Amino acid sequence: MTTSDGDLAKALAEMLAVANTLLNLNAKTWDDLVDAILPPRLALLKQLAVLCEKQMLACRDSKAYFAACVMGAAMLEAFLLLLCMLNQESVKETHCYKGRIGKRAADFEQTICCFGFEDLVEISAELNWVPASLIAADWKTALPETFIEIAKERRPNMSKAERIRRSESLVVNPAYSLMLLLNMMRNRIHPGRWVRERHVLKDENAFSEWAQVALVGAAHIRDCLLKHSQQDLIEMTKRAMHARVIEVANPARSIKKK
């Protein structure tokens, strides 16, 4: 016996109504319900990740690949920051986090929100949130060759040895390198960087080839981070719902705690 889409939608709507009653909420969708019971900072990061993803796809579909890279990097940064918030104890043990804060005590959420995209990428590499196996074998062959070709044209100040070193890193950990590439593309939005690093804008489609490569990588990485964040968000939501039910059922106890 199978359940039709209509029956499933009806069942979910009925469950949502029960959840709204139990939690004293008025959520229109399950997504709204999750946002309502999550801590505000986590709900905000989740919303930002979704917003940036939509903007990235809109730019990509319009063939505005440079703009798509900007939003793609912002999307991954929001996902990584969300994962850091959901896995505070693990993040605190990374070399990257310890290296940034040293021996001083620090409020985790305030501190991690000051980390840049590259710092978050380093943390994700240490915790293996984006494994090297994410990228297919044929990509590992094509990426280094493409990088050397494009870097030679777009980064004339980069030495041959540095181009080779970076291309080799794409083979060792392509997902990690693609996130750094995406960040590099995003940083090109600063006009001053073009002047300082002596880049040349030959035409309006400058480095669009490499931008498209970065975007394909961003989609793969997004899927991987999404799986991690969904699992962690489910656990967080369960705990938040349990606490909210107790609060609604025992308001006097909740007031006393405060």
pLDDT in tens, 21-31: 777 778 788 77
Whether 33 shows a pLDDT value over 60: the answer reads yes
> Is the confidence at residue 255, as pLDDT, over 50?
no
The predicted model gives 146-165 an average pLDDT of: 77
Give the up-direction half-sphere exposure of residue 60: CA atoms within 13 A in the CB hemisphere. 19
**For the residues 206-213, what does the mean pLDDT come to?**
76
d(Cα 19, Cα 32) in Å, to the nearest integer? Answer: 12
Task: Give the pLDDT score at 193.
Answer: 80
pLDDT of 133 reads: 67
256 vs 133: which has the higher pLDDT: 133
pLDDT at 93: 94
pLDDT at 15: 78
- pLDDT of 258 reads 47
Which pLDDT does position 68 carry in this prediction? Answer: 93
Residue 143 near residue 159, CB atoms below 8 Å: no
Mean pLDDT of 191-204: 77
Which residues lie closer than 8 Å to 80 by C-beta, 6 or more apart? 117, 120, 121, 123, 124, 129, 225
**Residue that wins the pLDDT comparison between 194 and 56:** 56
Sorting pLDDT into bands at 50, 70 and 90, what band is 139? Answer: low
127 burial class (0-12, 13-18, 19+ CB within 10 angstroms)?
Answer: middle
Q: What is the pTM of this model?
A: 0.75
pLDDT at 90 (0 to 100): 95
Q: What is the mean pLDDT of the chain?
A: 80
Buried/exposed code over 226-244 (b: 16+ C-beta within 10 A; e: otherwise) = eebbeebbeebbeebbeeb
Highest mean pLDDT range out of 58-67, 154-163, 169-178, 198-207? 58-67
- The pLDDT assigned to 184 comes to 79
